[in-house]
Amino acid sequence: MGDLLKDHMFASHAIAVGSAVAVATSLTHPLDTLKTLVQVGAGPKYQLGLSQVVERVKSVSGISGLYSGLGWSTIARVSGIGARFGIYEVLSAFYKDGREDNYVYVSEALLAGIAAGAVESIACTPFELLKLRKQVSVSRLKAATSGNVMQESTPLISRLLPGYTPDMKAWSNTVGLLSTLSPKSPNMVGKLEQYPWTLTGSGRPPLASDVKRPSSIISLEGWSALWRGLRPGVARDCVFGGVFFSTWQFIHIAMLNWKAIDIKPPPRSIEEVGPVSPLASSLAAGFSGTVAAAASHSFDTAKSRSQCIVIPKYITMERKLLRWKPPGIWLERVTGMSPADRNLMFRGIWLRMARNGIASFALVGCYFFAVDHLL
């Protein structure tokens, strides 16, 4: 009977956590899409504003485009949240072992959050890459005719001879020589999208929006590409986890001390104060998520921009053979940040702060609501 009850409680908590993550992800995914497009759409001389991003998404894919990549985002959040809170609970239980008071100090919460963030980044990086590739495709304007495709694939000719359209026969012969695609294919534009090197021309890698399926990423970039952006991701999640849990623990202890003031006689330990209300805990989690997002946003921008770059397998192999050293200072090399993006690190910070604050509030609130009704 005891084992059955334990299984029932475990299943109830698992359902509560899964439901809370799904609700929080669905609620905040449009903010995440806008944040990603603002980050990857910025350049040294030109930066897209939020209104420009919204109008572009509406004109290309409609409002539904804001939910592109929601499935991959949900999987990433489930695996990431599970790793984050699972590792944190294990480490906090180790810290509390043998103590009279059943709580951890703020410094211990900081260290446990850093360790939990590292594991979280490893667990969710592949799914975040697939999510980002889906998100960037919603704002790309598609070419309407084969003439436009040919001009895009021959940028040098288009610059030297404006308005010139290559001969269809010569184009078909070129396609027949450079690929296995039949020159008599009725859907030349659609077929060329499966051959990004032919579509974009010699020496130019394809866009991230052209390489968004798992099979395309693995065939062109290799299995290691699924963990691209791992270094800035680890730095981001370590900072986020440490700041999130330490801030939340600090606010939690402050609320317990405030609650203990009105208790007569004064409690001898924190355990005698009792738990805080679910609303107060949710608000504390939302505020902690906002602060943690602000502290770790520069690494999030570095990760988004690195995952948006397509690097074929042979280029990766050449860099390994030549022992290519990434540019930048030691901090940029360790965390995977590009020195060319130094002025772009805080792009979309308000969107990410809002997204993580709302997501943390909804996650904790939905979890308490689900547990209250299931148990």
Q: What is the pLDDT of residues 29-87, one digit of tens each?
A: 999 999 999 988 876 666 777 888 888 888 888 888 899 999 999 999 999 998 999 89
63 & 84 share domain: yes
60 & 77 share domain: yes
Higher pLDDT, 108 or 140: 108
Whether 110 maps to a domain, the answer reads yes
- The answer, yes or no, to whether the previous bond of 265 is cis (omega within 30 of 0) is yes
Contact criterion met (CB below 8 Å) for 85 and 285? no
Q: What is the pLDDT of residues 321-370, one digit of tens each?
A: 888 888 888 888 888 888 888 888 898 899 999 999 999 999 999 888 88
**Residues 6 or more apart in contact with residue 75 via CB below 8 angstroms:** 127
Whether 243 maps to a domain, the answer reads yes
367 & 321 share domain: yes
Count of structural domains, the chain: 2
Q: Which of 124, 122, 96 has its CA nearest to residue 109?
A: 96
Residue 62: what pLDDT? 83
Whether 92 maps to a domain, the answer reads yes
Whether 99 maps to a domain, the answer reads yes
Domain with 169 in it: 146-205
63 & 157 share domain: no
Whether 366 maps to a domain, the answer reads yes
164 & 84 share domain: no
170 & 307 share domain: no
Indicate which CATH number applies to the domain containing 10: 1.50.40.10
Residue 199: what pLDDT? 44
Residue 374: what pLDDT? 65
151 & 255 share domain: no
Global confidence as pTM: 0.79
Question: Of 156, 171, 205, which residue constitutes the final position of a domain?
Answer: 205
Q: Which two tokens stand for residue 9?
A: 């409680």
- Cβ atoms < 10 Å from Cβ of 286: 21
124 & 235 share domain: yes
266 & 348 share domain: yes
Whether 211 maps to a domain, the answer reads no
Contact criterion met (CB below 8 Å) for 315 and 228? no
53 & 24 share domain: yes
Whether 91 maps to a domain, the answer reads yes
Whether 61 maps to a domain, the answer reads yes
130 & 258 share domain: yes
117 & 169 share domain: no
Task: Return the SS3 of 216.
Answer: helix
Q: What band does 312 get if pLDDT is binned at 50, 70 and 90?
A: confident
